[in-house]
Amino acid sequence: MRIVHCFRSPVGGIFRHVRDLCEAQIAAGHEVGIVCDSTTGGDYEDRRLEEIGRKLPLGLIRTPMQRNVGLGDLGAAWRTLRVFRRMRPDILHGHGAKGGIYARLFGTAMRVGGRRVARLYSPHGGSLHYDPDTRSGRFYFGIERMMERATDHILFVSDYEKRTYEKKIGRPRAPVSVVYNGLRAEEFIPVGNAPDAADFLYIGMMRDLKGPDLFLDALKEAERQSGRTLTAVMVGDGDDRDKYIAQVDALGFSDRVRFHPAMPARAAFALGRIMVVPSRAEAMPYIVLEALAAGKPMIATRVGGIPEVFAKQTAALCDPNTGSLAERMTFALSDEAAFCREMPSEETLKERFSVEAMTSAVDAIYRGVRTS
């Protein structure tokens, strides 16, 4: 099959997900290409894109794609349609809200032109993060509902994401599947702590949705509760990074909170003893799976598909607010060995979240859509 993956922002979980799919699909003999935004990501993402781009038979095309709907979409849409036509895909798989619109809209246009293109969509959170009671939420959910008529299959990365779609948009008119993100065998090799590892570690995009501000406020409160001087490391890039640096200064943490740009996750894991994932919203974050597989104890907010990873009641989960995060951080510090035992076992993670299971399930869906 000729498979093209389209997404806007080549960062974080979406990029990891697409990269894993591409590598497995190339190994299976498919011709694969990527179309994504050229204005987001930093040096780290550029290097990773260059690596995967060299492997893609259909190539890697980057073109400007803005986050929100606007006049700039007209030029981006025309450029993207021309790229799709040159790639001549059998499968157009859109990831995230913008990628999903482009893949389904232009896949339909190519069908009108005589090419039978299967149109698939993976939300990865995307527009589902909007509030249905807001004007913007109603606007985007209306688009999602309309686009179902141009959708051959929707792939959700968690049961939570599927339930959220049904609650906010309605029961999908297109066929749906839940396919969990997957991990490679080498990701289950434990990562030890560096000699100067901080007490806590944040890895992720520097934007409020991911909760860096909550993490910093909770660090201050955990310091008060524990009576200890605490340290932290924050790893990641994003438009709000300077805001969090200013927050660190205002909290008096300038000498105890270090910032690092985005780097490979396994290199970052050594920088702190306890991971904190303070997200306000998620679909199924890879960083949770990667950290647990590497043997990192973790505090995570009870949002999105994160509870599905733990699959049981655990002291590792908390609510996405300062007080709940601080209480969990203080608890983890009080007995770190006991807290480590709250994490899911390696066997449980391997059974439910393998890259082999993910890619084989997606391949079966592609083949089913092609023959239907």
Q: What is the pLDDT of residues 52-78, one digit of tens each?
A: 999 999 999 998 887 766 666 777 888
Question: Per CATH, the architecture of 2-181+354-371 is what?
Answer: 3-Layer(aba) Sandwich (3.40)
Q: Do the domains 2-181+354-371 and 186-352 sit in the same CATH topology, yes or no?
A: yes
What's the fold here for domain 186-352? Rossmann fold (3.40.50)
Q: Does residue 311 surpass a pLDDT of 80? A: no
> Chain-wide mean pLDDT for the chain?
94
- In whole angstroms, give the CA distance from residue 52 to residue 59: 9
The reported pLDDT for the residue numbered 66 is: 78
pTM, rounded to two decimals: 0.84
Q: What is the mean pLDDT of residues 124-128?
A: 89
The reported pLDDT for the residue numbered 69 is: 66
**Which of the listed ranges 10-24, 58-72, 247-261 does the model predict with the highest average pLDDT?**
247-261
Q: What is the pLDDT of residues 98-114, one digit of tens each?
A: 999 999 999 999 999 88
| Letter string b/e over residues 257-293, b meaning 16 or more CB atoms within 10 A of that residue's CB | bbbeebeebeebbbbbbbbbbbbbbbbbbbbbbbbbb
Domain ranges of the chain: 2-181+354-371, 186-352
CB-based contact 234:212 (threshold 8 Å): yes
The reported pLDDT for the residue numbered 70 is: 64
Strand-strand pairing, 317-318 and 272-277: unpaired
Q: Does residue 29 surpass a pLDDT of 90? A: yes
